[in-house]
Structure 1
Amino acid sequence: MKHLQDTTTLNNGVNMPWLGLGVYKVEDGDEVISSVKAALETGYRHIDTAALYNNEQGVGQAIRESGVPREEIFVTSKVWNSEQGYESTLQAFEASRKRLGLEVLDLYLIHWPVKGKYLDTWKALMKLYKDGYVRAIGVSNFQIHHLQDIMDDSDIVPAVNQVECHPLLTQKPLLKFCRENQIQLEAWSPLMQGNLDVPLLDELAAKYGKSKAQIIIRWDLQNEIVTIPKSVKPHRIAENAQVFDFELSEEDMQRIDALNQNKRFGADPDNFDF
């Protein structure tokens, strides 16, 4: 991957950009509109939102006003936990689609593996996919056993699994499982929610002449993990994309891997309460 618009090919042949803009906790209206527009002007072609974020309307408006052709932009949204189940997921998708103002979504994900519900939710996603309303379907925050459940129960393997992933939570067993099953791993909170006070990252930032955020994003990309760092500042959005002009050495990749503590800043997918 040498360019901001380089893509990975998902297991159904759809191309998904390696780097995107996440908009979690970005306010609907002016804030999200200006963030998405700044990203698209910088050259991003991948925007990740969700029903939970309450900013799908602004994301859709920014896409329409950006001047970038719709077919060039990869848009992801997600069904929230309280909407899971077969019929309610179909209704939630329709509501998301209307808020975004888009005919077709590029990727739709189950946001969390809600016990007793996610298999029915997956059936709804399969229907949306087969009916042509979404180009690819996947999951978020699924562990290996959740993925196995879905694969045992259906004929469509999730195209993407979006999970918390960063140098303190490297998710290596999950990454290996996803690779073996042609599921693209995607990292949310790649920048550890700003908890970047790690001496090795300082050292590597100095060595490569890059920011600590850029070091982490590059580490993601070289691990073949799609990544969606969030920012609302245009200069930071641009900076996060300046990761295609250098490469981390194999030794430095392994040193970052060795930072793993299985530390989560978000909820545990096997034990969450929302």
Structure 2
Amino acid sequence: MKPDILFFFLFLVLVGCKKSIIEIETVPITDNYIEKIEFPEDYRIQSISKWQNNFLSYNNSTPVIDVYDIEFNLESTYKKSGFGPGEFQKIDSAVIIDNRIIVYDSVKKSFEIFDRDFNNLGSIPTKHKIISLVAHEDGSIYAGSLDMKQYYIVKFEGHLLEKETIILVRDIDEILKGFHSLSIKNDNLFIANIMTNTGIILNLENGKVINIENPFMEKQPEFVYQGEYKLPKQPVWRAGVVTEKHFFQLKNLDSGESIIYRGNFDGDINKSFTFDEHIASIISIDNQFWIFTGTSLKKYPLTKFTN
């Protein structure tokens, strides 16, 4: 082999090795938070939905819905199991928007819609298998849905969700069956897949789709069975967050610690934040970044995570 050809191949090998080594800045999350709220032992905060000055939390195993004020004082609780109007067997997803609380029940295959006092406004059957709901600031609801062959994003509009539009269709082979949660900021919809630790960002205005591949996440996490459901032992993306220019992915470690990875809208992971506790959920509120540990809420300035 000629020397110049040999050097060329050596160059390609070195470049390939260099690209395979990915390094990002890692920053520990210290206790310089803005505010800390300790929760009583009987708090059931699991999945959070915010609208204006209220938060909604639901527990799909009980099932029960709690509504909190802006300081996380419990305002009301609703639990009514059954198959009649205003009743549910299971809470797969729930959101609070305008003066409505919307619950999807996969057992009844319907939306249960309530006012803020939990008076039932309607029980709306749906042909879609809804996985997760998220409320847009324009008053519409976006839902992730699966059938046997394809994955959808459905937009619901109207006081009783009477208008629906399918805005994204993909083969399950692309997204697999692990779609779990949605997060939205302006017109960027963040879609998470907990079975493969991947995801996509869909721009609702121009239809652009960005695929997320985090090299620091296991593509085939260890699974356990919870009843009939096969789920990752350490679910991540369950608490995904999207802000003006970034998305955030949560990873819980066996040690009880947590890592939050930050990426940009090109799909690149560019920073990580370590936390010495188990993180139950993360959300972005106005100019703050909130971390729920299960026993407390810690509020940090958003710039701590975006700069």
- Taking structure 1 as the reference length, the TM-score comes to 0.34
Higher helix share: 1
Higher strand share: 2
- Taking structure 2 as the reference length, the TM-score comes to 0.32
Whose relative contact order is higher, 1 or 2, with alpha carbons under 8 Å and at least 6 apart? 1
